[in-house]
Amino acid sequence: FWIDFNRYNFLYDPNRPFPVEVGYEFEPNDFAMTYPVALPADITTEQSNFDLSTANYQTTPLGYTADIYLTGLDGQRIESARADMQIVVDADSLRFVNTFLHYNLNIDSIYVNGKTVDYHRRNDFKFVGLILPEYAKKGDTLTVTYWYDGKNYDYPLPYVDNRIPVEHSFTFHVQKGYNYIMPGMGEISKDGKFEKFQVELQQLYKTFYYQGMATNFDTISFTSDLGIPINIIKSKAITKQIECYVPDAIYDSSIISAFNFMTGKVGAPIGTFNINVYPAGFTSMPGMVQVPQVLCYEPGYTNALGGFNIFTGHSMAKQWFGNLMQTKTERENWLEYAAPEYLSLMFIQSLDEKAFYSNLALRRDSLEKYDSHNMLRPIYLGKRAKDINLTNKGAWLMHMLRILMVDLETGSPDNFNKFFHRLCLLTNNKIFTNEDIVNLAEQYYGEDLDWFFNQWVFDYKIPHFDVTYSVQSGGDKHFVDMNIQTSKAGDEFIYPVVFSFSSADGNTVLKREIITKETTSIKFGPFDFEPKNVVFNELFSVLCSENVKKK
């Protein structure tokens, strides 16, 4: 349900009643913090986690039209802009409307349905709270018009809480001699001192980015394994003399390798007939990839994690899992972080197995640090769960699904590979919910997975295992007795953990056993060899912390 504190609204999840902390600012730097709402922690409801995708937000966007003048040395300063954002009211009644605009963009005025409105804005936050002159009712359509200008922004349009894919229509006015990379561009025509073009998009977008370029660029074209052109744009201003310059041999090879690997794993990116790579930034749109060619990174640290391929993979993966993903609500937003991040890690794994597992370990350590500061939240909360949690937890979630689907007898990854390919088709072609993701995963796992998503999407706890084991031998048969104590997990925790047992000559057997909160002991065997090396949580089968000792 919604809680309205004057100008701020909070969506409260009855399944996880975290207290709502509110700060009252009396004057600059004089705050009082309080918890005005806190339901009992042991509350029980009949609400399914997967039904949350049907719960309303305050408003839903319907579409954008915008008229934008671009100037500046990089062709991306907004000299002036008018953006019309159509939204429909989902709350029963509404007087205070949450909208957002990057804080580096300066607002001239805001109108709603053609009439000026008051608004509340903090200079260092993206939030812009609109104060309507009268209450809007459920089902009412509002046209919110922003006039603004500015530079150094990460997203050029206003938006609302529930950013779902909608229609976009633009008119861009640009400086003569500048080129732009963006989908849906029409023909360029004269416009006084400017040139202009229309952008009419066939696909629905949640967010829309563009890239401006002056004339001092060259283009080097390559052809991918699938025959798709890859155009790598070279800036004449970026030279080998610049500190942190990434040599062409490394830069070009990494880009082409990433694209070839990902097309081999997932297929050609949907609706994309060529790839244009710009040598700065990390934004990605269909057909447009930003990979910086001037990037200061420490090889001594990053080489163990994949080197420059980390950055290439991160940007390139969004060609498959990016701005064309059709989430129904922000509650599916976690997949926009999880899927491309794990596709990027699989690219790293194809080059360096150790670097792949080092990345997973680094993400686990980051999550544990957040957990120690009580900063973890369920990833279905989207942006409220913090980007770093969505990225790290999301990558682990995809990895755990992958190991669940692996046949330990044959080591075949086919089920997960098919799932991942179908996931791309599902999420880019139609509106999807968390339940759709679960149903697809169950097709390739072969069993119910509600328990998995309830634990890793809708809950936030990371289990800890204290494990002791001993090897017992009788004649030519050998056994491993293992004691397990589980903590920091929910009462309904359950997980199939992978164990490995290796002999002195390298013979290895993998076993998968279900661990619950109540599991205290497991007996493995008989083995025909004496296990010299016993590994709990082989293949990083579950996100956890662990302390393993041999008796």
- Judgement on whether residues 314 and 391 belong to the same structural domain of the protein: yes
- pLDDT at residue 36 is higher than 80: no
Average pLDDT over residues 157-177: 93
pLDDT score for 44: 55
**Three-state secondary-structure class, residue 385:** helix
Residues 539, 498: Cα–Cα separation, whole Å: 7
Residue 335 · residue 437 · CB < 8 Å: yes
Backbone angles phi, psi at 79, to 5 degrees: -70, -40
User: Is residue 53 included in any domain, yes or no?
Assistant: no
Query: Do the Cβ atoms of 119 and 128 come closer than 8 Å?
Result: yes
* 475 plus 339 within the same structural domain: no
The answer for residues whose C-beta is within 8 angstroms of residue 370's C-beta and 6 or more apart is: 376, 386, 388, 389
* Residue 302 is assigned to a structural domain of this protein: yes
Same domain, 432 and 468: no
In a shared domain, residues 264 and 403: yes
Band the pLDDT of 42: cuts 50, 70, 90: low
Contacts of 458 by beta carbon, 8 Å cutoff, 6+ apart? 15, 16, 49, 52, 378, 380
Q: Is the pLDDT at 37 greater than 60, yes or no?
A: no
Residues 36 and 108 in one domain: no
Q: How far apart are the first and last CA of the chain?
A: 52
Confidence (pLDDT) at 272: 85
Q: What is the mean pLDDT of the chain?
A: 90
Same domain, 84 and 143: yes
Please check whether residues 187 and 67 belong to one and the same domain: yes
Confidence category of residue 1, pLDDT binned at 50, 70, 90: very low
Inter-CA distances, 92 with 6, 53, 135, 137, 186, Å: 16, 18, 10, 6, 41
Look at residue 172 and tell me if it is in a domain.
Answer: yes
pLDDT digits (tens, 9 = 90+) for 431-454: 999 999 999 999 999 999 999 999
User: What's the mean pLDDT in 471-500?
Assistant: 93
Arithmetic mean of pLDDT, 144-158: 95
The pLDDT confidence band at residue 9, using thresholds 50, 70 and 90, is very low
pLDDT at 19: 60
Evaluate whether residue 457 is within a structural domain.
Answer: no
Do 208 and 226 belong together in one domain?
no
Segment 385-404 shows an average pLDDT of 95
Q: What is the pLDDT of residue 27?
A: 64
| CB neighbour list of residue 44: distance below 8 Å, 6 or more residues apart | none
CB 75 within 8 A of CB 181: no
Q: Does residue 503 fall inside a structural domain?
A: yes
User: What average pLDDT score do residues 485-508 get?
Assistant: 93
Same domain, 89 and 194: yes
Q: Is the bond preceding residue 526 a cis peptide, omega within 30 degrees?
A: yes
Alpha-carbon Rg for the chain in angstroms:
26
Q: What is the pLDDT of residue 7?
A: 41
Q: What is the DSSP letter of 205?
A: B
Structure confidence at residue 119 (pLDDT): 94
CA dist., res. 177 & res. 179, Å (int): 7
DSSP state letter for 185? B
206: domain CATH number? 2.60.40.1730
Does the residue 301 lie in any domain? Answer: yes
Dump pLDDT digits (tens) for 299-332: 888 999 999 999 999 999 999 999 999 999 888 9
Please tell me the distance from the alpha carbon of residue 356 to that of residue 372, in angstroms, as a whole number.
25
Q: How many CB atoms lie within 10 A of CB 487?
A: 11
More confident of the two residues 170 and 301? 170
Question: 315: closest CA among 237, 232, 381, 386?
Answer: 232
Phi, psi of 145 (to 5 degrees): -110, 120
Domain that holds residue 126: 59-213
Angle, in degrees to the nearest 10, between helices 353-372 and 334-351: 140
Boundary (domain end) residue, out of 193, 213, 233: 213
Same domain, 182 and 43: no
Contact between 328 and 164 (Cβ < 8 Å): yes
Note whether 245 and 392 are same-domain residues: yes
The proportion of the chain whose per-residue pLDDT surpasses 70, expressed as a percent, equals 91
Tally of CB atoms within 10 A around 25: 10
> The tokens of 271 are what?
């609706």
What average pLDDT does the segment 333-350 reach? 97
Task: From 453, 501, 482, select the one nearest 546 (Cα to Cα).
Answer: 482
* pLDDT value of position 203: 87
Q: What is the pLDDT of residue 237?
A: 78
Give yes or no for residue 26 having a pLDDT over 80. Answer: no
76-104 pLDDT per residue, tens: 999 999 999 999 999 888 999 999 999 99
CATH of the domain at 246: 1.10.390.10
**Coil, helix or strand for 129?**
strand
Per-residue pLDDT, 428? 92
CATH number for the domain spanning 534: value is 2.60.40.1840
Hey, how many other C-beta atoms are within 10 angstroms of the C-beta on 431? 16
- In which band, very low, low, confident or very high, does the pLDDT at 298 lie, cut at 50, 70 and 90? confident
Which of the four pLDDT bands, split at 50, 70 and 90, describes residue 2?
A: very low
Is 202 in the same domain as 263? Answer: no
pLDDT, tens only, 211-248: 887 777 889 999 999 999 999 999 887 888 888 999 99
453 in any annotated domain:
no
For residue range 179-197, what is the model confidence (pLDDT) as tens digits? Answer: 898 888 999 999 999 999 9
Give the separation between CA 105 and CA 400, rounded to whole angstroms. Answer: 41
Lowest mean pLDDT segment, chosen from 20-29, 386-395, 540-549 = 20-29
The residue out of 164, 184, 213 marking a domain boundary is: 213
* DSSP type of residue 320: T
Beta-bridge partners for 222: 230
Q: How confident is the model at residue 154 (pLDDT cuts 50, 70, 90)?
A: confident
Q: Report if residue 458 sits inside a domain.
A: no
Among 153, 187, 213, the domain-final residue is 213
Count how many domains the chain has.
4
Q: Which residue has the higher pLDDT, 235 or 399?
A: 399
